[in-house]
Each structure stands twice: as C-alpha cells, then as structure tokens.
Chains A and B, each alone.
Chain A
Amino acid sequence: MSPEEGGGALRLEARGLRAGYGRTEALRGLDASILAGEIAAVLGENGSGKSTFLKVVARILPASAGEVRLDGEPLSSLPRRQTARRIAYVPQSLDLVFPIRALDLVLQGRAPHARGFAADGPGDRARAVAAMQACDVADLAMRDASALSGGETRRVFLARALAQEAEIWLLDEPTSGLDPRHRVEFLEVLARSHRERRFTVVLVTHEIDLAAELADRILLIRHGRALAEGAPNRVLTEENLKRAFDVRFDLASGRFSVIGPTPKLPYEA
C-alpha cells in the first residue's frame, strides 16, 4: 500500500491468499491492496494466478487459506448476495448453450438485488435499458446473446456491471480478442463510466502499455505471489518485467526480446 497515491480508503485487501483448482495451487500467498476508486491492473505471465485472484474476489472460487477483505471485513464472513451487489465480474468469454436475449443477460445483473434472484420488475428493466444505452448496446437488447460478436458481448457485460450498480468491477482480460475499433470503444465506455461513477476497477490484462496508460496501480504477479505493487512508473521497471515475464522489455521502444538463446526451429540444423 502506498498512501502517497492518495485518494480513497483501502477497499480490497488480500493477505496470504491461497486458492487453486483441485491439487493445482494458482495463488500461493498473494498480498494485494486496492484503494477505493482506483483502477488496478493485474499483470503476470500465463498461469501466474491473475484470473484466479479475480475469481476469489468475485467469490466464484473459495480461498483455501488467507483472506480477502472488503472494506476491512473478511469477504467470506459476508453474505454472498450482499457482496454480489457490490462486486461485478466481467468474464473473459461466455460459453452460452441456451438462447438468452442480451437484455435478459443485462437483467441478470439485477439478480442480487431481487427477491429469489428473479429480477425483471419495471425498475430493473429501466436500469438495464439505461445501462445498455450508456454502453451503446441498446439496439442489441432483443438479440440472442450467443450471436453477438466478442466486442458486443463485452459491452453487454459492461452494461450488466452498470445495471448491477456495483462499486467494484472485476474485468478478466477485457480487451483480448477485440479488433482495434472495438477495443477503443470498449475502453472509452469503461473510462467514461469510471470517470462518472468513480468505482474501483481491477482488471487483468496482458497489455503492459494499456496497464501503464489506464491504471493507477499495478499488481505484478508471479507464481501466485505479488512481485511488485504500486504506481505504474514504480512497478513497470525493466527489472520487474524481466522477473515477471522472463523477457527483456525495453521501456523506451515498448519492445520485448527473448532472454538467452532463441529456441531453434525444426528446420534450423
């Protein structure tokens, strides 16, 4: 935690967090602090535990040890529905088997607020439609969500997070697989919503330049532990990136290069 970055109070805090899938441990004692209202980018190589961290905070995955605190209270001590009202999770992709309208997907964001998770009262609908308008997906409302493009799906999920009226947004690789236009559009919607509502954003990404540009705080993870945490200019050093990704990174040019000998291709005798 670095108080000089100022602003919000400590919103999310992970201490000695461990979690995994079966016998594979993805988080091995992660410590992290995220202040209210800031955008935190989680960086790390594949399998470093980035997405697992989001899933534990979203309460999709239980922690096997350690804890996450939300405004100082252990997450596991709070009712699930109560934390779902405050934390919105935007998945990387969606594997839909059954037909569902984009509007109904956005309405699901109202479920934690509704009795018995059944949210389609007039108030819920109004909020869902307004959120879809804000994210420029109102014209997709009646379309089957499984027929939407990757960019449209992600904006629909942003609309859902807005409709959920959550103050913490967890975004798992929000820009992966998007073409330049959809990427820019998505980031604009995100930046605008953040400016207007000042919610806390935790986003997992592989794009170092995006993290540097967007984030107030970088969390660099390696092997399920925090390698470095703080303001982008302090964390995104060549030394840190080398340790996190096992690559050489030239900050000035923004180029990566391989450390050591390049792997030989089969036709290179």
Chain B
Amino acid sequence: MSLPGTDARRYVWIAGGLLLAAAGLFGLAVGGVRLSWSDLFSGEGTPAETARLIVSLRAPRVTLAALVGAALALSGAAMQALLKNPLADPFLLGTSGGAAAGAALAALGGVSPLASPVAAFLGAIASSFGVATLARRGGRLDLQRLLLYGLIANAFFSAVLLGVFSVASSTAARTMLFWMMGSLADATFGRVAALFPYAALGAAILGLYAARLNLIAVGEENAAALGVDTERAKRVVFLAASMLTGAAVAFAGIIGFVGLLVPHAARAVVGNDQRRLLPLSAVGGAALLVTADALSRVAFAPAELPIGAVTAAVGAPLFAWMLLREP
C-alpha cells in the first residue's frame, strides 16, 4: 500500500471539501420536485418563491444527513483503531441494536414519538455499558471479548425487536419498521440543533484522543509502553464512539455501512494517522450520506427509499470490491 506524502495531503482536503459541497448542492437540487437554480437566484415571482421554499424544506434534511453521516463515520473510524480491526463497526458492537431496541420499547410503551430519540440514545449507551462490562476481565477491557459480546448483544436486541414488532399495533409497527430502516424524512432544524451537541462533543473527544489512538492502533502494549493509560483511553473512546452512534441512530434510524465503508476509503487516501483519518472520515461520511439521501428521494420518486437501503445497496458491493483488492 502506498503511503501519501505531505504535499498530497493539501489536495486531499480541497477534494474532500469540494466533494461535500457538491453533495450538498446535489441534495438541495434533487427530490420529488426538480429545483431550478436560475429560478432560485435570478427568478422573480412564483417560480422563485417555489424554489426558495424547496431549498428551505430540503436544507434541514441535507444538514441532518451530513451530521448523521459524519457521526457514523467518526464512530466507525474510532472503533476500528480501538479494536485494531478494519472491519470493526459500531453496529457490530451492539450499539445500534441497543438504540433500536430502546426506541422500539419506548414506542410500545406509548411514549411520545418525540421521546424516542432519547430512548434510542439510552439504549445505545446501556448496550455499550453492558458489552463493556461483560468484556471486562481481571480489570482489563479485553477487545476480543468486546467483539464477541457485541455479537451476543445484537442477537439479543434483535429478539427484543421481533418481540416488539409482534405485539405492536400494525400502524406503530410500520412506523417503527420505517424508522429501523433509516430515514431522514422528518428532518427539521430543531432536530439538527438537537443532534449537533452530541456530534460536536463526540468529535471533540475523539480529536483529543487521536494521537493516543495512533499508538493503540499499533498495539495496546505499544501504547501502554509509551505512557498511555490504555484502560482509560479505551473507555473514553468507546463511550464517545457509542454516543456518536447512539445519537445518529436516534435522529435517523439504523443506517449501515457508513461507519464501515467511509473510514476504509479514507484510510486508503491519507493512511491511518487518526489526526487526519478522523476529520477526513467525518467529511466523507457527511458527503456520502447527503448523496445517499438525495438518491433515496429520486430513485423511485415520488416514493422514498429508506436511506439504509440506499447505503447498503451502494455500500455492500463497494465494500466487497475493497476487500477483494486487499492482499
């Protein structure tokens, strides 16, 4: 694998920024109604008003998609470095299962849909804590066990979900099902504002731990011998990544492959230095999810695909192709 030099890095950032901007414009332009840019900027009267209305309707959705995509990709990148496994993913560790189960139980209990993000977030954190506690052995967080208990947690939470579906009313089950498949349909700037603090806090914590993660990605013993309090670092990063995933699932449902695919692609571009990999993953995740959301609106317009179906349809073959290229 070729490792990039210093000069190439500047272009990577310019390219990443342009990609995100292009994705944003694409997300604003496409949908059930086609947006005319000339109407928006130079038009007068009804067409211009319609164009502005469309933008104001789509803008929160594009912003939410960008935030959710960034959160998922950051979480995936951090988990991969932490577990020293490029295939690690927050969904694999039971975080998303916990979030989904939390929201489903809240809906079953008749809690207002407004509270379901809170329930999803609590479920994610509870699942993370449970998995981390079970994986702890002799005072140390064992990473192999973490993966295994993540698997067990997911199996358990799918049982909970199936149970909730079977007893829920048909309309509630349908709402839940759509939510489980991922959707940004009810995006508002209020929801964007609610997600932002979680995403910003998670990103800030990971940024603070990026250099430690570089040492951990080579090996836990390596990091410990270089003076890192590895147990503490693992806990902090694990919780920050779980919070990012939980918040993303809470505000957009289960959207797979972003946390797995984006860091993988970013690593191929800038290498595994977390101080560059994390920000590029965030930009890439945002661009990917904004594009995927736009595609979900136009693919079968006026019907909407669940965004999770789009990311899986695009992500699965891409990921298979990436794995094939690996030596």
Cβ–Cβ contact B217 & A97, under 8 A: yes
Please give the distance in Å from B243's CB to the nearest CB on chain A: 21
Contact flag A142-B221 (CB < 8 Å), given A97-B86, A117-B211, A118-B275: no
Residue B304 at the chain A interface, CB threshold 8 Å? no
Cβ–Cβ contact A108 & B227, under 8 A: no
Docked pose: A118 CA to B226 CA in angstroms: 12
Docked pose: A247 CA to B224 CA in angstroms: 36
Interface residues of chain B, those whose CB is within 8 Å of chain A, are: 1, 3, 81, 84-86, 137-139, 208, 210-212, 214-215, 217-219, 221-222, 224-229, 267, 271-273, 275
Contact flag A117-B215 (CB < 8 Å), given A22-B137, A55-B221, A59-B224: yes
Docked pose: A94 CA to B222 CA in angstroms: 9
Nearest first, the 9 closest Cβ-Cβ pairs linking A and B are A84-B227, A118-B211, A81-B227, A89-B225, A98-B272, A112-B227, A117-B211, A60-B224, A58-B225
Docked pose: A150 CA to B217 CA in angstroms: 20
Specify which chain B residues have a CB less than 8 angstroms from the CB of A84 in the assembled complex.
225-227
- Spot the interface stretch: A39-47, A99-107, A186-194: A99-107
Cβ–Cβ contact A117 & B218, under 8 A: no
Cβ–Cβ contact B85 & A97, under 8 A: yes
Within 8 A of B (CB), among A12-30: 21-22
Docked pose: A21 CA to B138 CA in angstroms: 8
Specify which chain B residues have a CB less than 8 angstroms from the CB of A99 in the assembled complex.
1, 3, 267, 271-272
Cβ–Cβ contact B1 & A108, under 8 A: no
Residue A10 at the chain B interface, CB threshold 8 Å? no
Docked pose: A104 CA to B215 CA in angstroms: 10
Cβ–Cβ contact B86 & A83, under 8 A: no
Specify which chain A residues have a CB less than 8 angstroms from the CB of B85 in the assembled complex.
97
Residue of B nearest to A79 (CB): B227
20 A-B pairs within 8 Å (CB atoms) are namely A60-B221, A60-B224, A80-B224, A82-B227, A83-B227, A84-B227, A89-B221, A94-B222, A97-B84, A98-B81, A98-B84, A98-B217, A100-B217, A100-B271, A112-B227, A116-B212, A117-B214, A117-B227, A118-B210, A119-B211
The listed residue with most A CB atoms (<10 A of its CB), out of B85, B210, B221, B229, is B221
Please give the distance in Å from A28's CB to the nearest CB on chain B: 17
Cβ–Cβ contact B3 & A117, under 8 A: no
Residue of A nearest to B212 (CB): A117
Please give the distance in Å from B293's CB to the nearest CB on chain A: 30
Cβ–Cβ contact B218 & A94, under 8 A: yes
Give the A-B pair count, Cβ closer than 8 A.
Answer: 95
Docked pose: A60 CA to B224 CA in angstroms: 5
Specify which chain B residues have a CB less than 8 angstroms from the CB of A104 in the assembled complex.
214, 273
**Which of B86, B217, B225 lies in contact with A60, CB distance below 8 A?**
B225
Interface residues of chain A, those whose CB is within 8 Å of chain B, are: 21-22, 55, 58-60, 62, 79-85, 87-89, 91, 94-101, 104-105, 108-109, 111-112, 114, 116-119, 142, 144
Docked pose: A117 CA to B1 CA in angstroms: 26
Residue of B nearest to A82 (CB): B227
The listed residue with most A CB atoms (<10 A of its CB), out of B212, B221, B227, is B227
The listed residue with most A CB atoms (<10 A of its CB), out of B137, B271, B275, is B271
Docked pose: A79 CA to B210 CA in angstroms: 21
Cβ–Cβ contact A108 & B228, under 8 A: no
Specify which chain A residues have a CB less than 8 angstroms from the CB of B212 in the assembled complex.
116-117
Cβ–Cβ contact B229 & A80, under 8 A: yes
Contact flag A80-B275 (CB < 8 Å), given A94-B218, A99-B3: no
Docked pose: A85 CA to B275 CA in angstroms: 22
Please give the distance in Å from A204's CB to the nearest CB on chain B: 14
Docked pose: A105 CA to B226 CA in angstroms: 12
Docked pose: A58 CA to B230 CA in angstroms: 13
Cβ–Cβ contact A100 & B1, under 8 A: no
Cβ–Cβ contact B221 & A91, under 8 A: yes
Please give the distance in Å from A25's CB to the nearest CB on chain B: 12
Contact flag A111-B217 (CB < 8 Å), given A98-B272, A99-B3, A144-B3: no
Specify which chain A residues have a CB less than 8 angstroms from the CB of B272 in the assembled complex.
98-100
Please give the distance in Å from B210's CB to the nearest CB on chain A: 7
**Which of B139, B218, B225, B227 lies in contact with A105, CB distance below 8 A?**
B218
Docked pose: A79 CA to B228 CA in angstroms: 10
**Which of B3, B139, B215, B218 lies in contact with A142, CB distance below 8 A?**
B3
Specify which chain A residues have a CB less than 8 angstroms from the CB of B84 in the assembled complex.
97-98
Docked pose: A117 CA to B137 CA in angstroms: 27
Contact flag A117-B271 (CB < 8 Å), given A94-B219, A96-B218, A100-B218: no
Docked pose: A116 CA to B205 CA in angstroms: 12
Residue of A nearest to B80 (CB): A98
Please give the distance in Å from A193's CB to the nearest CB on chain B: 18
Cβ–Cβ contact B227 & A111, under 8 A: yes
